Structure 1
Amino acid sequence: MTDVLVSRAEDFDDIAALLALAFHGDLDPDVQALERPIFEPDRSLLVRDGGTVVANAAAFSRELAVPGANVPAAHVTMVAVAPTHRRRGLLTTLMRRQLRDVRDAGREPIAVLWASEGRIYPRFGYGSAAPRYVLSVDTTGLRLPAPTSAEGTLRLDRPDAHRDELARLYEQARADRPGWSRRDERWWAYLLADLKAHRGGATERRVLLHEGPGGLDGYALYRTKDSSSATGPQAETHVGEVVALTPEAYRALWRLLLSVDLTRRLSFPIAAVDEPLLRLVDEPRQLSPQLADALWVRVVDVPAALAARRYATDVDVVIEVTDDLLKENTGRWRLVGGPDGAQCTATTAPAALACDVRALGELYLGGANPSALAAAGHVRELVPHTLTALTPAFSWHRAPSPMEVF
């Protein structure tokens, strides 16, 4: 029963049944048909008991935007253990095997995931790397600055009629936003599908397009959910994503989203921690921002990962890393880099900084402050003033941001 098997395509339905059980959902044939094309059987590990799938961990093969670069990343997903088989070490077995497989394959220096619970994945070396704000907005009386003559025109349509244009805009914006994953044709088909099972009682998804002087330069995906009370309409706007290449497009999109007729509230669960909206509205308290974790990063190959990203300022530091699961990462590594590139090599030189691999995951996307990690005990400064120099180097001009749950 504890044998770990590599999935086959025909295992998909059994895995879907486990996920529905573990995440308190129902099997839906339409959902299964939508998800089957993005399933990668050879990247799914499972355990059966008497023919029933009782544990699973999978990954998608995608690229992730990181500071100054794109990096192949194992997008870990579909992790579940049946309630009848908890506390037997199945999750630990699967996660350890998955990390070993990713490391041995040599293609992806990092892994990334969304955590169902924050306490689960740090023990496997994952660090919280891209937090988010969950916005629950009272739009009553909320205002943005008046439109300027530089703002263009807005129009509404069905998202699937503009897939190529949305993909182009997304990819342009993604280059400047750590945390966004590359979307190929399969992913656009999956993300733009609008099954009733995913609507939560709201309307079909709509796309709001912004046309600037140079053409289409922004879009927003949203839906609305009707509601009313004795005092009048109380509908809510559910925003899925906002992509804007110019400040004018960003302001125009949000101005409409916050003022849809008959709505009184707006929800946006994946706002960046540096979301401009927080600075635009006349009363930011009405956004009710609640900080939550989003992307967790696991550095699988320390020298490859640290050399793959860019650094905001020049850095030359020796870091002593501890990794209990992937011993190849344990050791001293000299990182030399800057805005134009980086190298990371093994060294016997004395270390200026020491940390475990989880701390590197927290730092990797540029959103964590090394000094804050030191105060939390996740990083140790071995040479005075190392953190002073390292902090600006590891930061980035845009905060890491999640864009989709995978």
Structure 2
Amino acid sequence: MSTNAAAYPVRPITKGETEDFYAQLNFAFHEEPPEEMQDLWLRLVSRERTVAAFDGDELIGTGGDIPFELTVPGGVTVPTAGVTMITVKATHRRRGILTGMMRHQMTGWHERGDAAVATLFSSEPAIYGRFGYGVGTHALALTIPRGGEGLSAVPGSDGFQMRMVDPRKAYDRCQAVFDAVRLGRPGMVARIGKGWGDVATLDNEFTRDDAGPLRCVVAEDAAGQVAGYARYQVEADFDNPARPDGKVQVREVHGRDLASYIAVWRFLTDIDLTLEVHAEVPTDDPLMFLLADPRQSVPRVEDVLYVRLVDVDRALAGRRYAAPVDVVFELADPFCPWNTGRWRLSGDADGAVCTPTTDPADLVLGPRELGTAYLGGLSLSALGRAGRVEELRPGALAAASRGFVSEVAPFAPFEF
């Protein structure tokens, strides 16, 4: 990679550069989304939170971030930057331009103190490891055959009234369910600011991707309150003369408790004129224990959310630990030099502190490993067995790993 990144200034865009910004974004992703989607993203990503690179007057790189509150182990949240819209013009690759934009973002978050953690969904994971991002959540991609008898009922799951509702009009009622459950699973985020209702219910030819209109079903309890919901589309298929082979494409499913969650899933897996349901769920989702034949769901593990600690002390002190932790780790972080050094982490289920120290190190690891272990889905011990964490004090790795693990598998339910 060339070292002449200084030749390509990096800064937020001005109002007059908005059209060039989105033209480069769409060109790089080989897409032509409708103008309404551009207007929508302008509401979510303010110009102040964009980043662009220039070759003279030519805009050659794009990026931005969305402020979130990320749920971390312990049912608490930390301020997080959701990185999005990252591109570099094909004619300007391997010139250090992406590195310049990444550094601009990291330094900005650190200096402003507005994000202890950064997250992103990676179209090409190999790119972001060199900037300290590690895969922090996984999902099970499922193909579930139709048939309500294939998914066991649970106590109370047959006591809800299922209703079809307008996705936009019912957004607030459904969002109340989302807000009630998001603190229970690491990786979920609070949708902050205006525009998220429009994102969640966006429905046009571009978002349909050959499927039908966006639908929303809710499970109402005896008091008429929404206890669970799903947003989905059906991809109709009548080519098979023996039977319709439609596919249910699930966007989002949540329930306040197991009964409401399963009530919605039993609806989704028994829709007329369909053959199967396609969805992504957490790796520990109850569905896997309630399907009569789990093998028929064809589960496939996928990497989802990538995590990077911007300020190691704030990020590690912001989460809780499943077992007491008292460990000194040595971190080399050339991309974020303020993180480089030795840190003592002491914490438990009630809170934690992370401070610089000169004490001897117990563990040696890098920012990518911390990002991978941060949400508790992948253990430090597993990283150690892979040679990614070095243990200097016997027993320190196992003890730290027990503290970092999350009882609930992390999951990121929607992309940004």
> Is the shorter-chain TM-score for this pair beyond 0.5, marking a shared fold?
yes
- SS of equivalent residue, structure 1 residue 396: coil
CA displacement at 1:405 relative to structure 2: 0.8
* 1:239 partnered with 2:250: yes
Q: Deviations over 1:280-306 (max 9, x none)?
A: 111112211111111111111111110
Q: Distance in 1 between matches of 2:361 and 2:149?
A: 52
Q: Of residues 9, 19, 22 in structure 1, which corresponds to 2:15?
A: 9
Q: Distance in 2 between matches of 1:230 and 1:160?
A: 36
Q: Tell me the residue number matched to 1:320.
A: 330
Is there any run of 5+ residues in structure 1 with no aligned partner, and where?
none
Q: Which amino acid aligns with 2:337?
A: K
* 1:200 partnered with 2:215: no
RMSD over aligned Cα atoms: 1.7
User: CA 1:312 to 1:147, structure 2 compared with 1: closer, same or farther past 3 Å?
Assistant: closer
Is the CA contact 2:146–2:271 (under 8 Å) kept in the aligned structure 1?
A: no
Q: Deviations over 1:160-184 (max 9, x none)?
A: 1122211211111001111112113
CA displacement at 1:22 relative to structure 2: 0.9
Q: Distance in 1 between matches of 2:122 and 2:281?
A: 17
Q: Distance in 1 between matches of 2:396 and 2:146?
A: 46
Q: Deviations over 1:280-339 (max 9, x none)?
A: 111112211111111111111111110001111211111111111111111111111111
CA displacement at 1:130 relative to structure 2: 0.6
CA displacement at 1:267 relative to structure 2: 1.0
User: CA 1:373 to 1:261, structure 2 compared with 1: closer, same or farther past 3 Å?
Assistant: same
Q: Distance in 1 between matches of 2:115 and 2:409?
A: 22
Q: Which amino acid aligns with 1:75?
A: G
- SS of equivalent residue, structure 1 residue 323: coil
* 1:137 partnered with 2:148: no
Q: Tell me the residue number matched to 2:3.
A: none
- SS of equivalent residue, structure 1 residue 119: helix
* 1:339 partnered with 2:339: no
Is the CA contact 1:18–1:54 (under 8 Å) kept in the aligned structure 2?
A: yes
Q: Tell me the residue number matched to 2:198.
A: 189
User: CA 1:146 to 1:95, structure 2 compared with 1: closer, same or farther past 3 Å?
Assistant: closer
Moved more, 48-57 or 314-323: 48-57
Q: Distance in 2 between matches of 1:201 and 1:374?
A: 44
Q: Tell me the residue number matched to 2:4.
A: none
Q: Tell me the residue number matched to 2:179.
A: 171
Q: How many aligned positions are there?
A: 405
Q: Distance in 2 between matches of 1:36 and 1:158?
A: 25
Q: Distance in 1 between matches of 2:314 and 2:11?
A: 28
* 1:306 partnered with 2:316: yes
- SS of equivalent residue, structure 1 residue 120: helix
Moved more, 150-159 or 309-318: 150-159
CA displacement at 1:5 relative to structure 2: 2.4
Q: Tell me the residue number matched to 1:249.
A: 260
Q: Distance in 2 between matches of 1:48 and 1:346?
A: 38
Is the CA contact 2:118–2:308 (under 8 Å) kept in the aligned structure 1?
A: yes
Q: Tell me the residue number matched to 1:119.
A: 126
* 1:396 partnered with 2:402: no
Tell me the TM-score normalized by structure 1: 0.95
Q: Of residues 144, 152, 157 in structure 1, which corresponds to 2:165?
A: 157
Q: Distance in 2 between matches of 1:109 and 1:158?
A: 37
Q: Deviations over 1:35-66 (max 9, x none)?
A: 22112211111123353321112111121111
Is the CA contact 1:31–1:195 (under 8 Å) kept in the aligned structure 2?
A: no
Q: Deviations over 1:4-25 (max 9, x none)?
A: 1221233222121111111111
Identity, % of aligned positions: 37
Q: Tell me the residue number matched to 1:209.
A: 218
Q: Distance in 2 between matches of 1:45 and 1:302?
A: 23
Is the CA contact 1:30–1:195 (under 8 Å) kept in the aligned structure 2?
A: no
* 1:85 partnered with 2:96: no
Is there any run of 5+ residues in structure 2 with no aligned partner, and where?
1-6
Q: Of residues 251, 254, 267 in structure 1, which corresponds to 2:278?
A: 267
Moved more, 116-125 or 3-12: 3-12
Is the CA contact 2:181–2:256 (under 8 Å) kept in the aligned structure 1?
A: yes
Q: Tell me the residue number matched to 1:35.
A: 41
Is the CA contact 1:56–1:80 (under 8 Å) kept in the aligned structure 2?
A: yes
* 1:25 partnered with 2:25: no
* 1:222 partnered with 2:229: no
Q: Distance in 2 between matches of 1:34 and 1:195?
A: 13
Q: Distance in 2 between matches of 1:195 and 1:221?
A: 14
- SS of equivalent residue, structure 2 residue 66: strand
Q: Which amino acid aligns with 2:221?
A: G
CA displacement at 1:375 relative to structure 2: 1.1
Is the CA contact 1:18–1:53 (under 8 Å) kept in the aligned structure 2?
A: yes
Q: Tell me the residue number matched to 1:382.
A: 392
Q: Distance in 1 between matches of 2:306 and 2:121?
A: 6
Q: Distance in 1 between matches of 2:170 and 2:355?
A: 45
Q: Distance in 2 between matches of 1:221 and 1:204?
A: 10
- SS of equivalent residue, structure 1 residue 160: coil
Q: Distance in 2 between matches of 1:297 and 1:346?
A: 22
CA displacement at 1:31 relative to structure 2: 2.0
